[in-house]
Amino acid sequence: MKVLVFAPHPDDELIGCGGSIAKHISKGNKVTVVYMTSGEAGSPNQSKEKLAIIREREAVEAAEFMGINNLIFLKNKDGLLKCTQRNILNIIKIIMEEKPQIIYIPHPADRHKDHIATNKIVIQAVKKAAVPCQQNSGRKPWAVKLVLCYEVWAPLLKVSFIEDITEFVEIKAKAASFHKSQAQNIRYNKTLRKYVNNNREHFHILKINN
């Protein structure tokens, strides 16, 4: 089975669904993570150019530790992500190439604008990738059956699926610890403690192409 995870910034995927990713990998499922931005606005003490390089490297190190098969960095501007036609088309292309059965995205009531934009872009792309369309330049449609929305900066209002990650909590915490550039951020550490030291991950299930 193939799993596609969309993260607005490097580390969101670990906070929101790192245990579920580890569980997929333990079952032999192939996981690709798509970073919408490189999180270069994540520190006031670093230039954006430098921080993008640092955060991409942290993501690579965490992914190697986890056994994530493939990372895609789209390098959109951190803090300015919008649900544009161009962004939707980019994601349609990735969905058609990767052919995932499951997709993970942030939930729509997350407090960060980039997270909400990621949710919108991917949902549009999931719908459009499932039907033949001129812009798909000859690629075959691909219908993703299951989209799971994960929590980062705000709790889900409606939880429709809970994954038990008891066996994978340590892997999740260790993977998150590779993101050293974020460790100075008090809000980040609070969120990390809340989600990393939890044996369960909460999701809202979206069934789009049924």
- Cβ distance to Zn ion smaller for residue 9 or 172: 9
> How far is CA 27 from each of CA 22, 67, 78, 119, rounded to the nearest angstrom?
9, 12, 33, 26
Query: Computed over its alpha carbons, how large is the radius of gyration of the chain?
Result: 16
Using rule CB under 5 A, residue 107 touches Zn ion: no
12 interacts with Zn ion by CB under 5 A = yes
> Residue 113 CB, nearest distance to Zn ion (Å)?
10
The minimum distance between CB 134 and Zn ion, in angstroms, equals: 33
The type of residue at 33 is: V
Minimum gap (Å) between residue 11 Cβ and Zn ion: 7
Residue range at the interface with Zn ion (CB under 5 A); choices 1-9, 44-52, 74-82, 96-104: 1-9
Nearest-approach distance from CB 139 to Zn ion, in angstroms: 29
Is 110 among the residues that bind Zn ion (CB under 5 A)?
Answer: no
Site string for Zn ion, 177-196 (x = CB under 5 A): --------------------
Q: Residue from 9, 55, 107, 204 that binds Zn ion (CB under 5 A)?
A: 9
Give the residue ranges of DSSP H helices in the chain: 12-26, 48-66, 85-98, 113-129, 169-176, 186-196
The smaller minimum CB distance to Zn ion, of residues 1 and 80, is found at 80
Sheet holding 102-106, edge to edge: 70-76, 30-37, 2-7, 102-106, 146-150, 200-206, 161-164
Long-range contact set of residues 118-121: C-beta below 8 Å, sequence gap at least 24? 118/6, 118/7, 118/8, 118/36, 118/81, 119/149, 120/83, 121/36, 121/81, 121/83, 121/87, 121/88, 121/91
Q: Of 3, 4, 6, 8, which lies in the binding site for Zn ion, with binding defined by CB under 5 A?
A: 8
Only segment of 6-14, 66-74, 181-189, 192-200 that touches Zn ion (CB under 5 A): 6-14
Q: How far is the CB of 12 from Zn ion (least distance, A)?
A: 4
Query: Which residue has tokens 């590779």?
Result: 178
Q: Contact residues for Zn ion (CB under 5 A)?
A: 8-9, 12
